[in-house]
């Protein structure tokens, strides 16, 4: 049995599976924090499946191209284009991540029962969720378009633990040599150590240090840093206070003697560590590689702890591909109802893409068409 219900934080906390069952981004920790810190104007609804919360749904009305009204629903996001840059990943239905049939049935029900629905936006969906949405949409007479593909880069830790190797073993000879040289430079101040914040208070203090270093390192760049989003810092302060007592948050300080190299903000559930954000101390010159040194040290720390995976999450950064050994696919999708104006817009979008591929249209002539096209912002 499925139904839509008003958002009640008590119901959300009680009705959502824990991170060990649902995955961190679909847990009461993450989605509860979303509800607690969302902008006042956000319109939120709960999807209940057999008496348990299956998803958080955001709703908004927008106008595209100045004349096209669109009523959008968002799976596990608020629909607020800035707030949602906190960048949820591994999106799906809580407790149904591996149940494709159950996910398909729930999404099919949603497409038939969401009030005032022109689109259902599902960003950073898992492969199972994406497949289920396409099937559900086809059954309901809706269409689906993909707005972004952003695989997550993952390193399996078991081979490192079995063979007694470190995180640098997969790198090319020159890159590995450069990082080892950087490690030696840092070790002039003392051995490199990884410390995990032991309390919520310490974790919050280290997160503030991470934020200061992150903001400083992004000054002068063409793109905004993650903390430019005014909701980003309070969201994660609330998340840390909620999830750290459960053991799901790792605030790591990597240092050499008294020198702080950087801070890492990771999530960790059942041996799966996800590297979400970093703040790195400025380096004297380009011989010093604080980011790679921090992640290499964290990988060794997680390997020794018995973790299974070190996940760099989605994003195009080169170091993620260098340090990982496989990818987990994710894609952002928009299911849209059989409305003539939406089909016309989709046809125009396809034509624009075709013209761009043939060189008849420059990339600068193509503009984003809505919130669903935003890739998120949690630059590391």
Q: What is the pLDDT of residues 133-161, one digit of tens each?
A: 999 999 999 999 999 999 999 999 998 88
Q: What is the pLDDT of residues 200-259, one digit of tens each?
A: 999 999 999 999 999 999 887 767 889 999 999 999 999 999 999 999 999 999 999 999
pLDDT for 372 equals 43
pLDDT for 63 equals 93
The C-alpha atoms of residue 144 and residue 129 are separated, in whole angstroms, by: 13
pLDDT for 281 equals 97
pLDDT for 267 equals 98
CATH of domain 162-327: 3.40.630.30
CA nearest 252: which of 328, 291, 197?
A: 197
Residues counted in the chain = 380
Intrachain domains 2-151+329-373 and 162-327 with the same fold: yes
pLDDT for 352 equals 86
CA nearest 100: which of 74, 134, 66?
A: 134
Kindly report whether the global pTM for this prediction surpasses the value 0.85: yes
The C-alpha atoms of residue 139 and residue 260 are separated, in whole angstroms, by: 55
Within 7-51, strands assigned E span 43-49
pLDDT for 20 equals 65
The C-alpha atoms of residue 75 and residue 335 are separated, in whole angstroms, by: 11
Cα dist from 310 to 16, 123, 275, whole Å: 25, 22, 7
Phi, psi (deg, nearest 5) at residue 328: -115, 120
Cα dist from 328 to 4, 245, 260, whole Å: 31, 28, 32
Q: What is the DSSP-derived secondary structure letter of residue 226?
A: G
Correct CATH for 2-151+329-373 of 3.30.70, 1.20.120, 3.40.630, 1.10.10 = 3.40.630
Cα dist from 45 to 7, 38, 175, 339, whole Å: 5, 13, 49, 24
Show pLDDT as tens, one digit a residue, over the chain (380 residues): 678 887 776 666 666 666 766 789 999 999 999 999 999 999 999 998 888 888 999 999 999 988 889 999 999 999 999 999 998 999 999 878 666 789 999 999 999 999 999 999 999 999 999 999 999 999 999 999 999 999 999 999 998 888 777 778 777 788 889 899 999 999 999 999 999 999 999 999 999 999 999 999 988 776 788 999 999 999 999 999 999 999 999 999 999 999 999 999 999 999 999 999 999 999 999 999 999 999 999 999 999 999 999 999 998 888 898 899 999 999 999 999 998 888 888 888 888 888 888 876 655 544 433 444 444 456 66
CA nearest 265: which of 290, 294, 288?
A: 294
Within 257-353, strands assigned E span 259-269, 272-280, 309-314, 326-328, 330-336
The C-alpha atoms of residue 274 and residue 141 are separated, in whole angstroms, by: 37
Domain boundaries, the chain: 2-151+329-373, 162-327
The C-alpha atoms of residue 75 and residue 122 are separated, in whole angstroms, by: 5
Q: Is the CB of residue 171 less than 8 Å from the CB of residue 321?
A: no
């Amino acid at each position: 049995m499925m139904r839509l219900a008003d958002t009640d934080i008590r119901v959300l906390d009680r009705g959502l599976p824990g991170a060990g069952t649902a995955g961190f981004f679909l847990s009461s920790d993450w989605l509860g924090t979303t509800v607690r810190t969302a902008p006042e104007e956000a319109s939120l609804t709960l999807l209940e499946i057999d008496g348990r919360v299956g998803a958080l749904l955001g709703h908004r009305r927008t106008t595209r191209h100045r004349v096209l009204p669109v009523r959008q629903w968002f799976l596990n996001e608020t629909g607020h284009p800035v707030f949602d840059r906190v960048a949820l990943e591994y999106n799906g239905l809580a407790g149904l991540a591996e149940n494709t049939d159950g996910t398909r049935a729930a999404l099919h029900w949603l497409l038939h029962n969401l009030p005032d629905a022109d689109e259902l936006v599902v960003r950073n969906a898992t492969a199972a969720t994406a497949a289920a949405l396409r099937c559900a949409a086809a059954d309901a007479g809706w269409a689906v378009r993909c707005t972004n593909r952003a695989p997550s880069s993952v390193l399996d830790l078991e081979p490192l633990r079995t063979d007694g190797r470190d995180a640098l073993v997969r790198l090319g000879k020159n890159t590995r040599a450069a990082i080892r040289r950087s490690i030696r430079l840092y070790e002039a101040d003392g051995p490199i150590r990884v410390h995990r914040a032991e309390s919520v208070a310490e974790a919050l203090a280290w997160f503030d240090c991470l934020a200061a270093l992150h903001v400083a390192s992004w000054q002068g760049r063409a793109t905004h840093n993650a903390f430019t989003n005014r909701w980003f810092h309070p969201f994660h302060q609330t998340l840390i206070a909620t999830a750290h007592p459960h053991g799901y948050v790792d605030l790591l300080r990597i240092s050499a003697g008294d020198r702080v190299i950087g801070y890492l903000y990771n999530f960790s559930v059942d041996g799966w560590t996800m590297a979400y954000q970093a703040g790195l101390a400025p380096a004297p010159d380009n011989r010093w590689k604080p980011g790679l040194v921090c992640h290499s040290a964290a990988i060794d720390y997680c390997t020794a702890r018995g973790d299974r995976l070190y996940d760099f999450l989605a994003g195009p950064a080169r170091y993620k591909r260098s340090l990982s050994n496989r990818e987990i696919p994710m894609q952002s999708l928009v299911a849209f109802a059989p409305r003539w104006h939406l089909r016309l817009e989709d046809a125009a979008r396809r034509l624009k893409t075709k013209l761009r591929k043939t060189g008849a249209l420059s990339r600068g002539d193509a503009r984003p068409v809505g919130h669903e096209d935003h890739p998120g912002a949690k630059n590391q």
